[in-house]
Structure 1
Amino acid sequence: MIHKSFLQNVNLLIQMHAEGLLGGEVMPEDALIGIVPEDELPNVLTLGMSLNYQRNSYTLWQSIAQAYLDDNSRWIFNPHAVSNKDLEDLRHVLLHYRVALQPNRHPEIWKRVSRGIVQSSPKGDVLGLIESVQFDIFPLKNIIQKTRKSEFPYLSGPKIFNYWLYVLETYAAIEWKSRELITVAPDTHILKASVKLGLCSSEVLNGTNEDRQTVAKAWEKALTGSGLAPIDVHTPLWLWSRAGFPSLSVSKTL
Protein backbone atom coordinates (compact mmCIF):
# COMPACT_ATOMS: atom_id res chain seq x y z
CA MET A 1 0.00 0.00 0.00
CA ILE A 2 1.29 3.45 -0.95
CA HIS A 3 1.39 5.88 1.96
CA LYS A 4 0.28 9.49 1.62
CA SER A 5 3.78 10.60 2.63
CA PHE A 6 5.20 8.81 -0.43
CA LEU A 7 3.04 10.79 -2.83
CA GLN A 8 3.88 13.97 -0.90
CA ASN A 9 7.57 13.28 -1.49
CA VAL A 10 6.93 12.60 -5.18
CA ASN A 11 5.05 15.88 -5.54
CA LEU A 12 7.78 17.67 -3.65
CA LEU A 13 10.39 16.27 -6.04
CA ILE A 14 8.35 17.51 -9.00
CA GLN A 15 8.07 20.92 -7.34
CA MET A 16 11.80 21.03 -6.60
CA HIS A 17 12.53 20.21 -10.24
CA ALA A 18 10.16 22.94 -11.44
CA GLU A 19 11.96 25.44 -9.21
CA GLY A 20 15.39 24.38 -10.46
CA LEU A 21 16.46 22.99 -7.08
CA LEU A 22 17.68 19.67 -8.48
CA GLY A 23 20.18 21.15 -10.90
CA GLY A 24 20.37 19.84 -14.43
CA GLU A 25 18.47 22.73 -15.96
CA VAL A 26 20.07 21.62 -19.23
CA MET A 27 18.99 18.14 -20.28
CA PRO A 28 20.97 16.12 -22.86
CA GLU A 29 18.44 16.58 -25.67
CA ASP A 30 18.45 20.36 -25.16
CA ALA A 31 21.50 20.34 -27.46
CA LEU A 32 19.04 20.15 -30.38
CA ILE A 33 17.03 23.24 -29.42
CA GLY A 34 17.40 26.02 -31.96
CA ILE A 35 19.35 23.73 -34.29
CA VAL A 36 16.89 21.10 -35.51
CA PRO A 37 13.51 22.37 -36.83
CA GLU A 38 10.51 20.90 -35.02
CA ASP A 39 9.26 19.01 -38.08
CA GLU A 40 12.58 17.17 -38.33
CA LEU A 41 12.92 16.42 -34.62
CA PRO A 42 10.99 13.10 -34.70
CA ASN A 43 13.55 11.57 -37.09
CA VAL A 44 16.58 13.08 -35.34
CA LEU A 45 15.38 12.13 -31.85
CA THR A 46 14.47 8.60 -32.92
CA LEU A 47 17.71 7.80 -34.70
CA GLY A 48 19.78 9.42 -31.95
CA MET A 49 17.85 7.55 -29.27
CA SER A 50 18.59 4.28 -31.06
CA LEU A 51 22.23 4.64 -29.94
CA ASN A 52 21.52 6.09 -26.49
CA TYR A 53 22.57 2.96 -24.63
CA GLN A 54 25.26 2.70 -21.94
CA ARG A 55 26.95 5.98 -22.86
CA ASN A 56 27.08 9.64 -21.87
CA SER A 57 23.81 11.15 -23.10
CA TYR A 58 25.10 14.72 -23.02
CA THR A 59 28.03 13.86 -25.28
CA LEU A 60 25.82 11.86 -27.65
CA TRP A 61 23.32 14.65 -28.25
CA GLN A 62 26.04 17.27 -28.63
CA SER A 63 27.59 15.06 -31.31
CA ILE A 64 24.22 14.68 -33.02
CA ALA A 65 23.73 18.46 -33.03
CA GLN A 66 27.14 18.97 -34.62
CA ALA A 67 26.43 16.37 -37.30
CA TYR A 68 23.11 18.05 -38.09
CA LEU A 69 24.77 21.45 -38.45
CA ASP A 70 26.97 20.08 -41.25
CA ASP A 71 25.02 20.27 -44.52
CA ASN A 72 27.11 17.42 -45.91
CA SER A 73 26.23 15.03 -43.11
CA ARG A 74 22.60 16.00 -42.39
CA TRP A 75 21.38 13.17 -44.64
CA ILE A 76 22.11 10.67 -41.87
CA PHE A 77 18.92 11.85 -40.14
CA ASN A 78 16.74 11.07 -43.19
CA PRO A 79 15.58 7.44 -42.96
CA HIS A 80 15.05 7.20 -46.74
CA ALA A 81 18.52 8.53 -47.50
CA VAL A 82 20.16 6.22 -44.96
CA SER A 83 18.30 3.20 -46.33
CA ASN A 84 19.62 3.89 -49.82
CA LYS A 85 23.19 4.86 -48.88
CA ASP A 86 26.18 2.58 -48.65
CA LEU A 87 26.95 1.46 -45.09
CA GLU A 88 30.52 2.69 -45.45
CA ASP A 89 29.34 6.25 -46.16
CA LEU A 90 27.12 6.12 -43.09
CA ARG A 91 29.91 4.69 -40.95
CA HIS A 92 32.26 7.50 -42.00
CA VAL A 93 29.87 10.27 -40.90
CA LEU A 94 28.72 8.61 -37.68
CA LEU A 95 32.29 7.95 -36.56
CA HIS A 96 33.57 11.36 -37.67
CA TYR A 97 31.12 13.14 -35.35
CA ARG A 98 31.37 10.42 -32.69
CA VAL A 99 27.65 9.77 -32.93
CA ALA A 100 28.76 6.16 -33.28
CA LEU A 101 31.45 4.82 -30.95
CA GLN A 102 31.41 1.21 -32.15
CA PRO A 103 32.52 1.15 -35.83
CA ASN A 104 30.47 -1.87 -36.82
CA ARG A 105 27.50 -2.31 -34.51
CA HIS A 106 26.41 1.34 -34.23
CA PRO A 107 26.24 2.12 -37.98
CA GLU A 108 24.47 -1.19 -38.57
CA ILE A 109 21.86 -0.33 -35.92
CA TRP A 110 21.38 3.16 -37.40
CA LYS A 111 20.77 1.67 -40.85
CA ARG A 112 18.49 -1.07 -39.54
CA VAL A 113 16.34 1.40 -37.61
CA SER A 114 16.16 3.68 -40.66
CA ARG A 115 14.91 0.79 -42.78
CA GLY A 116 12.46 -0.18 -40.07
CA ILE A 117 11.05 3.35 -40.06
CA VAL A 118 10.73 3.44 -43.85
CA GLN A 119 9.06 0.04 -44.03
CA SER A 120 6.61 0.61 -41.16
CA SER A 121 5.57 4.17 -42.05
CA PRO A 122 3.30 5.21 -44.93
CA LYS A 123 5.39 8.36 -45.35
CA GLY A 124 8.71 6.69 -44.66
CA ASP A 125 9.47 8.82 -41.62
CA VAL A 126 8.82 8.77 -37.87
CA LEU A 127 5.95 11.26 -37.93
CA GLY A 128 4.24 9.16 -40.58
CA LEU A 129 4.59 6.11 -38.35
CA ILE A 130 3.08 7.98 -35.40
CA GLU A 131 0.25 9.33 -37.55
CA SER A 132 -0.48 5.83 -38.86
CA VAL A 133 -1.30 4.69 -35.31
CA GLN A 134 -3.22 7.93 -34.66
CA PHE A 135 -0.84 9.00 -31.90
CA ASP A 136 -1.91 6.01 -29.83
CA ILE A 137 0.89 4.50 -27.74
CA PHE A 138 -0.60 1.01 -27.53
CA PRO A 139 -0.38 0.10 -31.26
CA LEU A 140 2.96 1.90 -31.56
CA LYS A 141 4.30 -0.18 -28.70
CA ASN A 142 3.05 -3.31 -30.46
CA ILE A 143 4.99 -2.37 -33.62
CA ILE A 144 8.28 -1.39 -31.96
CA GLN A 145 8.36 -4.00 -29.20
CA LYS A 146 6.65 -6.95 -30.90
CA THR A 147 5.89 -7.22 -34.62
CA ARG A 148 8.98 -5.30 -35.81
CA LYS A 149 11.16 -5.62 -32.72
CA SER A 150 14.17 -6.95 -34.66
CA GLU A 151 14.26 -3.75 -36.72
CA PHE A 152 14.52 -1.53 -33.64
CA PRO A 153 17.39 -2.78 -31.45
CA TYR A 154 17.85 -0.81 -28.22
CA LEU A 155 14.83 1.35 -29.09
CA SER A 156 12.51 -1.60 -28.46
CA GLY A 157 13.84 -2.09 -24.92
CA PRO A 158 11.58 -0.81 -22.11
CA LYS A 159 14.05 1.80 -20.86
CA ILE A 160 14.77 3.52 -24.17
CA PHE A 161 11.30 2.98 -25.64
CA ASN A 162 9.56 4.85 -22.85
CA TYR A 163 12.12 7.62 -22.76
CA TRP A 164 11.79 7.94 -26.55
CA LEU A 165 8.04 8.54 -26.14
CA TYR A 166 8.83 11.16 -23.51
CA VAL A 167 11.35 13.10 -25.59
CA LEU A 168 9.02 13.08 -28.60
CA GLU A 169 6.35 14.61 -26.38
CA THR A 170 8.73 17.09 -24.77
CA TYR A 171 10.75 18.26 -27.76
CA ALA A 172 8.68 17.44 -30.87
CA ALA A 173 5.28 18.47 -29.46
CA ILE A 174 3.77 15.01 -30.03
CA GLU A 175 0.46 14.74 -28.17
CA TRP A 176 -0.01 11.10 -27.25
CA LYS A 177 -3.27 9.35 -26.65
CA SER A 178 -3.24 7.36 -23.39
CA ARG A 179 0.02 8.95 -22.24
CA GLU A 180 -0.42 7.13 -18.93
CA LEU A 181 1.05 4.15 -20.80
CA ILE A 182 4.45 5.88 -20.82
CA THR A 183 6.18 4.33 -17.84
CA VAL A 184 9.29 5.65 -16.16
CA ALA A 185 12.39 4.79 -18.17
CA PRO A 186 14.12 2.60 -15.56
CA ASP A 187 17.80 3.42 -15.96
CA THR A 188 20.30 3.27 -13.09
CA HIS A 189 19.32 6.68 -11.68
CA ILE A 190 15.62 5.77 -11.65
CA LEU A 191 16.35 2.47 -9.90
CA LYS A 192 18.38 4.25 -7.20
CA ALA A 193 15.76 6.96 -6.70
CA SER A 194 12.95 4.40 -6.46
CA VAL A 195 14.83 2.59 -3.70
CA LYS A 196 15.65 5.88 -1.94
CA LEU A 197 11.94 6.79 -1.85
CA GLY A 198 11.08 3.38 -0.41
CA LEU A 199 9.05 2.26 -3.43
CA CYS A 200 11.25 -0.77 -4.14
CA SER A 201 13.76 -2.87 -2.23
CA SER A 202 17.48 -2.56 -2.90
CA GLU A 203 17.36 -5.87 -4.78
CA VAL A 204 16.30 -4.00 -7.95
CA LEU A 205 19.71 -2.29 -8.00
CA ASN A 206 21.06 -5.40 -9.70
CA GLY A 207 19.60 -3.80 -12.81
CA THR A 208 18.38 -6.88 -14.65
CA ASN A 209 15.57 -6.55 -17.18
CA GLU A 210 13.27 -8.10 -14.60
CA ASP A 211 14.37 -5.49 -12.02
CA ARG A 212 13.64 -2.67 -14.46
CA GLN A 213 10.21 -4.08 -15.25
CA THR A 214 9.52 -4.41 -11.52
CA VAL A 215 10.35 -0.73 -10.96
CA ALA A 216 8.30 0.42 -13.96
CA LYS A 217 5.26 -1.55 -12.78
CA ALA A 218 5.71 -0.29 -9.21
CA TRP A 219 5.50 3.31 -10.44
CA GLU A 220 2.42 2.54 -12.55
CA LYS A 221 0.69 1.09 -9.50
CA ALA A 222 1.87 3.82 -7.12
CA LEU A 223 0.59 6.67 -9.29
CA THR A 224 -2.76 5.16 -10.25
CA GLY A 225 -5.43 7.73 -9.40
CA SER A 226 -2.86 10.40 -8.48
CA GLY A 227 -3.34 12.48 -11.61
CA LEU A 228 0.28 11.84 -12.57
CA ALA A 229 1.54 9.70 -15.42
CA PRO A 230 4.64 7.67 -14.53
CA ILE A 231 6.78 9.53 -17.05
CA ASP A 232 5.97 12.81 -15.25
CA VAL A 233 8.28 11.76 -12.42
CA HIS A 234 11.13 10.53 -14.62
CA THR A 235 13.20 13.70 -14.94
CA PRO A 236 12.81 14.79 -11.28
CA LEU A 237 13.88 11.31 -10.14
CA TRP A 238 16.78 11.21 -12.59
CA LEU A 239 18.10 14.60 -11.54
CA TRP A 240 17.59 13.87 -7.84
CA SER A 241 19.78 10.78 -8.13
CA ARG A 242 22.34 12.53 -10.30
CA ALA A 243 22.59 15.33 -7.72
CA GLY A 244 23.32 12.83 -4.94
CA PHE A 245 19.85 12.88 -3.37
CA PRO A 246 19.63 16.33 -1.79
CA SER A 247 17.26 16.48 1.17
CA LEU A 248 13.55 16.79 0.60
CA SER A 249 12.16 19.57 2.72
CA VAL A 250 8.51 19.80 3.75
CA SER A 251 6.65 22.25 1.52
CA LYS A 252 3.77 24.30 2.87
CA THR A 253 2.09 24.09 -0.52
CA LEU A 254 1.60 20.35 -0.29
Structure 2
Amino acid sequence: MSDNSFPENVKRLIQMHSEGLLGGEIMPEDALIGIVPECELPNVLTLGMALNYQRNSYTLWQSIAAAYTDESTRWIFTPLVVAKSSIDDLRLALLEYRVALQPNRHPEIWKSVSSGIARSSSKGDVAGLMESAHYDIACLKSMMQTTRKSEFPYLSGPKIFNYWLYVMETYTGVKWQSRELITVAPDTHIMKATVKLGLCTSDVLNGTADDRKLVAEAWEKALKGSGLAPIDVHTPLWLWSRAGFPSLTAESLFTTSCQG
Protein backbone atom coordinates (compact mmCIF):
# COMPACT_ATOMS: atom_id res chain seq x y z
CA MET A 1 0.00 0.00 0.00
CA SER A 2 1.44 3.38 -0.92
CA ASP A 3 2.05 6.08 1.66
CA ASN A 4 -0.31 8.34 -0.25
CA SER A 5 -3.21 5.89 0.06
CA PHE A 6 -3.01 5.63 3.85
CA PRO A 7 -4.58 9.00 4.80
CA GLU A 8 -7.26 8.57 2.15
CA ASN A 9 -8.13 5.13 3.46
CA VAL A 10 -8.34 6.44 7.02
CA LYS A 11 -10.71 9.17 5.87
CA ARG A 12 -12.79 6.64 3.97
CA LEU A 13 -12.93 4.37 7.01
CA ILE A 14 -14.22 7.21 9.19
CA GLN A 15 -16.75 8.14 6.50
CA MET A 16 -18.00 4.56 6.23
CA HIS A 17 -18.45 4.47 10.00
CA SER A 18 -20.41 7.73 9.97
CA GLU A 19 -22.64 6.35 7.22
CA GLY A 20 -23.32 3.15 9.16
CA LEU A 21 -21.61 0.97 6.57
CA LEU A 22 -19.45 -0.96 9.03
CA GLY A 23 -22.32 -2.49 10.96
CA GLY A 24 -22.25 -2.75 14.72
CA GLU A 25 -24.03 0.53 15.25
CA ILE A 26 -24.95 -0.74 18.72
CA MET A 27 -21.86 -0.46 20.89
CA PRO A 28 -21.54 -2.41 24.18
CA GLU A 29 -22.05 0.67 26.36
CA ASP A 30 -25.31 1.47 24.56
CA ALA A 31 -26.92 -1.00 26.97
CA LEU A 32 -27.02 1.86 29.48
CA ILE A 33 -28.99 4.24 27.25
CA GLY A 34 -32.47 4.81 28.64
CA ILE A 35 -31.55 2.88 31.78
CA VAL A 36 -29.03 5.08 33.56
CA PRO A 37 -29.78 8.81 33.96
CA GLU A 38 -27.22 11.13 32.40
CA CYS A 39 -26.09 12.44 35.78
CA GLU A 40 -25.23 8.88 36.91
CA LEU A 41 -23.44 7.79 33.73
CA PRO A 42 -19.93 8.94 34.81
CA ASN A 43 -20.00 6.69 37.87
CA VAL A 44 -21.57 3.70 36.12
CA LEU A 45 -19.32 3.91 33.07
CA THR A 46 -16.17 4.33 35.12
CA LEU A 47 -16.80 1.49 37.54
CA GLY A 48 -17.98 -0.80 34.76
CA MET A 49 -14.93 0.02 32.69
CA ALA A 50 -12.71 -1.07 35.58
CA LEU A 51 -13.82 -4.68 34.95
CA ASN A 52 -13.79 -4.47 31.16
CA TYR A 53 -10.71 -6.64 30.85
CA GLN A 54 -10.67 -9.96 29.00
CA ARG A 55 -14.46 -9.92 29.03
CA ASN A 56 -17.21 -10.03 26.45
CA SER A 57 -18.01 -6.31 26.47
CA TYR A 58 -21.61 -6.70 25.33
CA THR A 59 -22.36 -9.20 28.10
CA LEU A 60 -20.60 -7.07 30.71
CA TRP A 61 -22.58 -3.92 29.98
CA GLN A 62 -25.85 -5.83 29.83
CA SER A 63 -25.05 -7.16 33.30
CA ILE A 64 -24.28 -3.66 34.50
CA ALA A 65 -27.58 -2.36 33.13
CA ALA A 66 -29.44 -5.17 34.92
CA ALA A 67 -27.66 -4.43 38.21
CA TYR A 68 -28.50 -0.74 37.92
CA THR A 69 -32.15 -1.48 37.17
CA ASP A 70 -32.45 -3.49 40.40
CA GLU A 71 -32.79 -1.05 43.30
CA SER A 72 -31.25 -3.60 45.67
CA THR A 73 -27.96 -3.60 43.75
CA ARG A 74 -27.91 -0.05 42.38
CA TRP A 75 -25.76 1.13 45.31
CA ILE A 76 -22.68 -0.54 43.82
CA PHE A 77 -22.46 2.37 41.37
CA THR A 78 -22.10 5.00 44.11
CA PRO A 79 -18.37 5.27 44.92
CA LEU A 80 -18.84 6.74 48.41
CA VAL A 81 -21.22 3.96 49.41
CA VAL A 82 -18.98 1.26 47.96
CA ALA A 83 -15.93 2.71 49.71
CA LYS A 84 -17.69 2.30 53.07
CA SER A 85 -19.27 -1.08 52.34
CA SER A 86 -18.04 -4.49 53.45
CA ILE A 87 -16.29 -6.55 50.81
CA ASP A 88 -18.75 -9.40 51.48
CA ASP A 89 -21.81 -7.26 50.75
CA LEU A 90 -20.10 -5.88 47.65
CA ARG A 91 -19.20 -9.37 46.45
CA LEU A 92 -22.78 -10.59 46.70
CA ALA A 93 -24.13 -7.56 44.85
CA LEU A 94 -21.55 -7.77 42.06
CA LEU A 95 -22.12 -11.49 41.56
CA GLU A 96 -25.92 -11.16 41.52
CA TYR A 97 -26.01 -10.13 37.86
CA ARG A 98 -22.53 -11.36 36.95
CA VAL A 99 -21.03 -7.89 36.88
CA ALA A 100 -18.16 -9.64 38.63
CA LEU A 101 -17.04 -13.04 37.41
CA GLN A 102 -14.10 -13.51 39.78
CA PRO A 103 -15.48 -13.57 43.36
CA ASN A 104 -12.35 -12.19 44.98
CA ARG A 105 -10.36 -10.15 42.48
CA HIS A 106 -13.25 -8.29 40.85
CA PRO A 107 -14.85 -7.00 44.09
CA GLU A 108 -11.39 -5.90 45.29
CA ILE A 109 -10.87 -3.92 42.07
CA TRP A 110 -14.35 -2.37 42.28
CA LYS A 111 -13.78 -1.30 45.89
CA SER A 112 -10.29 0.05 45.19
CA VAL A 113 -11.45 2.16 42.26
CA SER A 114 -14.48 3.41 44.21
CA SER A 115 -12.25 4.40 47.13
CA GLY A 116 -9.83 6.12 44.78
CA ILE A 117 -12.67 8.11 43.24
CA ALA A 118 -14.12 8.99 46.65
CA ARG A 119 -10.76 10.33 47.81
CA SER A 120 -10.18 12.32 44.64
CA SER A 121 -12.92 14.93 44.91
CA SER A 122 -14.98 16.78 47.48
CA LYS A 123 -18.08 15.33 45.81
CA GLY A 124 -16.84 11.78 46.08
CA ASP A 125 -17.89 10.87 42.55
CA VAL A 126 -16.46 10.73 39.03
CA ALA A 127 -17.91 14.11 38.07
CA GLY A 128 -15.99 15.61 40.97
CA LEU A 129 -12.86 13.69 40.00
CA MET A 130 -12.93 15.16 36.50
CA GLU A 131 -13.69 18.61 37.85
CA SER A 132 -10.80 18.46 40.31
CA ALA A 133 -8.50 17.58 37.39
CA HIS A 134 -9.90 20.55 35.42
CA TYR A 135 -10.95 18.07 32.71
CA ASP A 136 -7.27 17.88 31.77
CA ILE A 137 -6.21 14.49 30.44
CA ALA A 138 -2.56 15.17 31.31
CA CYS A 139 -3.57 15.67 34.95
CA LEU A 140 -5.69 12.50 35.01
CA LYS A 141 -2.91 10.48 33.36
CA SER A 142 -0.43 11.66 35.96
CA MET A 143 -2.70 10.76 38.83
CA MET A 144 -4.28 7.52 37.62
CA GLN A 145 -1.30 6.07 35.79
CA THR A 146 1.56 7.26 37.98
CA THR A 147 1.15 8.87 41.41
CA ARG A 148 -1.91 6.86 42.48
CA LYS A 149 -1.85 4.02 39.99
CA SER A 150 -2.34 1.31 42.63
CA GLU A 151 -5.77 2.73 43.49
CA PHE A 152 -7.06 2.25 39.93
CA PRO A 153 -6.30 -1.37 38.93
CA TYR A 154 -7.13 -2.21 35.30
CA LEU A 155 -8.51 1.31 34.79
CA SER A 156 -4.97 2.71 34.93
CA GLY A 157 -3.75 0.42 32.15
CA PRO A 158 -3.16 2.22 28.84
CA LYS A 159 -5.79 0.30 26.87
CA ILE A 160 -8.66 0.68 29.34
CA PHE A 161 -7.64 4.19 30.46
CA ASN A 162 -7.72 5.62 26.95
CA TYR A 163 -10.94 3.85 26.07
CA TRP A 164 -12.46 5.14 29.31
CA LEU A 165 -11.60 8.70 28.26
CA TYR A 166 -13.25 8.09 24.91
CA VAL A 167 -16.38 6.54 26.42
CA MET A 168 -16.72 9.40 28.88
CA GLU A 169 -16.51 11.88 26.01
CA THR A 170 -18.98 9.93 23.89
CA TYR A 171 -21.65 9.20 26.49
CA THR A 172 -21.37 12.03 29.04
CA GLY A 173 -20.42 14.90 26.74
CA VAL A 174 -17.36 15.89 28.77
CA LYS A 175 -15.05 18.31 26.94
CA TRP A 176 -11.48 17.25 27.60
CA GLN A 177 -8.47 19.50 27.75
CA SER A 178 -5.46 18.05 25.91
CA ARG A 179 -7.78 15.80 23.92
CA GLU A 180 -4.94 14.88 21.56
CA LEU A 181 -3.48 12.81 24.39
CA ILE A 182 -6.21 10.17 24.01
CA THR A 183 -4.55 7.37 22.07
CA VAL A 184 -6.19 4.41 20.42
CA ALA A 185 -6.96 1.57 22.83
CA PRO A 186 -5.09 -1.26 21.09
CA ASP A 187 -7.13 -4.39 21.67
CA THR A 188 -7.07 -7.33 19.27
CA HIS A 189 -9.42 -5.71 16.74
CA ILE A 190 -7.50 -2.43 16.70
CA MET A 191 -4.20 -4.22 16.17
CA LYS A 192 -5.56 -6.34 13.34
CA ALA A 193 -7.03 -3.26 11.63
CA THR A 194 -3.77 -1.35 12.07
CA VAL A 195 -1.89 -4.16 10.34
CA LYS A 196 -4.55 -4.37 7.63
CA LEU A 197 -4.02 -0.68 6.86
CA GLY A 198 -0.28 -1.25 6.61
CA LEU A 199 0.59 1.09 9.49
CA CYS A 200 2.37 -1.70 11.41
CA THR A 201 3.70 -5.11 10.46
CA SER A 202 2.06 -8.35 11.50
CA ASP A 203 4.70 -8.72 14.23
CA VAL A 204 2.51 -6.61 16.53
CA LEU A 205 -0.19 -9.28 16.46
CA ASN A 206 1.74 -11.11 19.17
CA GLY A 207 -0.15 -8.72 21.44
CA THR A 208 2.55 -7.98 24.01
CA ALA A 209 2.57 -4.76 26.04
CA ASP A 210 5.35 -3.48 23.79
CA ASP A 211 3.30 -4.34 20.70
CA ARG A 212 0.33 -2.37 22.02
CA LYS A 213 2.53 0.57 22.85
CA LEU A 214 4.01 0.45 19.34
CA VAL A 215 0.53 0.50 17.77
CA ALA A 216 -0.61 3.44 19.92
CA GLU A 217 2.54 5.41 19.11
CA ALA A 218 2.21 4.62 15.40
CA TRP A 219 -1.27 6.16 15.34
CA GLU A 220 -0.12 9.22 17.26
CA LYS A 221 2.65 9.78 14.69
CA ALA A 222 0.43 9.02 11.68
CA LEU A 223 -2.31 11.47 12.68
CA LYS A 224 -0.11 14.30 13.95
CA GLY A 225 -1.19 17.52 12.28
CA SER A 226 -4.21 15.88 10.65
CA GLY A 227 -6.79 17.48 12.92
CA LEU A 228 -7.78 14.04 14.19
CA ALA A 229 -7.02 12.67 17.64
CA PRO A 230 -5.95 9.00 17.59
CA ILE A 231 -9.07 8.00 19.51
CA ASP A 232 -11.20 9.34 16.62
CA VAL A 233 -10.25 6.27 14.60
CA HIS A 234 -10.80 3.76 17.39
CA THR A 235 -14.44 2.80 16.79
CA PRO A 236 -14.16 2.77 12.96
CA LEU A 237 -11.12 0.47 13.24
CA TRP A 238 -12.83 -1.76 15.80
CA LEU A 239 -16.00 -2.15 13.75
CA TRP A 240 -14.05 -2.62 10.51
CA SER A 241 -12.21 -5.58 12.04
CA ARG A 242 -15.39 -7.09 13.53
CA ALA A 243 -17.07 -6.78 10.13
CA GLY A 244 -14.30 -8.81 8.49
CA PHE A 245 -12.57 -5.85 6.79
CA PRO A 246 -15.01 -4.90 4.03
CA SER A 247 -13.28 -3.14 1.16
CA LEU A 248 -12.77 0.59 1.59
CA THR A 249 -12.65 1.20 -2.15
CA ALA A 250 -14.26 -0.18 -5.28
CA GLU A 251 -10.82 -1.31 -6.41
CA SER A 252 -10.42 -3.50 -3.30
CA LEU A 253 -7.09 -2.06 -2.30
CA PHE A 254 -7.02 -4.27 0.74
CA THR A 255 -7.02 -7.65 -0.94
CA THR A 256 -3.32 -7.89 -0.12
CA SER A 257 -2.98 -7.29 3.56
CA CYS A 258 -0.28 -7.58 6.21
CA GLN A 259 -2.01 -10.36 8.07
CA GLY A 260 0.18 -12.59 10.19
- Residue correspondence of structure 1 range 26-175 to structure 2 within 5 A: 26-175=26-175
Which segments of 5 or more consecutive residues in structure 1 lack a partner in the other structure?
none
**Deviation (angstroms), 1:5:** 1.0
Give 2:11's aligned amino acid. N
**Deviation (angstroms), 1:3:** 2.2
| 2:254 aligned residue | none
Distance (Å, rounded) in 2 between the aligned partners of 1:205 and 1:36: 36
Q: Give the 3-state SS of the residue equivalent to 1:154 in structure 2.
A: coil
- Residue correspondence of structure 1 range 180-195 to structure 2 within 5 A: 180-195=180-195
Aligned CA RMSD, in angstroms, stands at: 1.1
Hey, which bits of structure 1, 4+ residues long, moved more than 2 A? none
Distance (Å, rounded) in 1 between the aligned partners of 2:91 and 2:168: 26
The count of residues paired between Structure 1 and Structure 2 equals 250
Give 1:168's aligned amino acid. M
| 1:244 aligned residue | 244
Distance (Å, rounded) in 2 between the aligned partners of 1:204 and 1:121: 39
Give 2:228's aligned amino acid. L
Give 2:58's aligned amino acid. Y
**Deviation (angstroms), 1:250:** 5.2
**Deviation (angstroms), 1:4:** 2.6
Distance (Å, rounded) in 1 between the aligned partners of 2:224 and 2:189: 22
Q: Spell out, residue by residue over 1:117-166, the C-alpha distance to the aligned partner (whole angstroms, 9 max, x if none).
A: 11122221111111011111001110100011001111000000000000
Q: Spell out, residue by residue over 1:37-83, the C-alpha distance to the aligned partner (whole angstroms, 9 max, x if none).
A: 11111110000000000010000000000100011111000000001
Q: Provide TM-score, normalisation by structure 2.
A: 0.94
Q: Spell out, residue by residue over 1:179-220, the C-alpha distance to the aligned partner (whole angstroms, 9 max, x if none).
A: 111000010100000000000011110111111010000000
| 1:229 aligned residue | 229
Q: Give the 3-state SS of the residue equivalent to 1:247 in structure 2.
A: coil
Q: Provide TM-score, normalisation by structure 1.
A: 0.97
| 1:14 aligned residue | 14
Q: Spell out, residue by residue over 1:77-110, the C-alpha distance to the aligned partner (whole angstroms, 9 max, x if none).
A: 0000001111111111111100000011001100
Q: Give the 3-state SS of the residue equivalent to 2:30 in structure 1.
A: helix
Give 1:127's aligned amino acid. A
Give 1:137's aligned amino acid. I
Equivalent residues of 2:194, 2:215 under 8 A apart: yes
Distance (Å, rounded) in 2 between the aligned partners of 1:72 and 1:172: 25
| 2:203 aligned residue | 203
Equivalent residues of 2:120, 2:132 under 8 A apart: no
Distance (Å, rounded) in 2 between the aligned partners of 1:178 and 1:107: 32
| 1:215 aligned residue | 215
Distance (Å, rounded) in 1 between the aligned partners of 2:200 and 2:117: 36
Which segments of 5 or more consecutive residues in structure 2 lack a partner in the other structure?
252-260
Distance (Å, rounded) in 2 between the aligned partners of 1:67 and 1:60: 11
Q: Give the 3-state SS of the residue equivalent to 1:51 in structure 2.
A: coil
Give 1:240's aligned amino acid. W
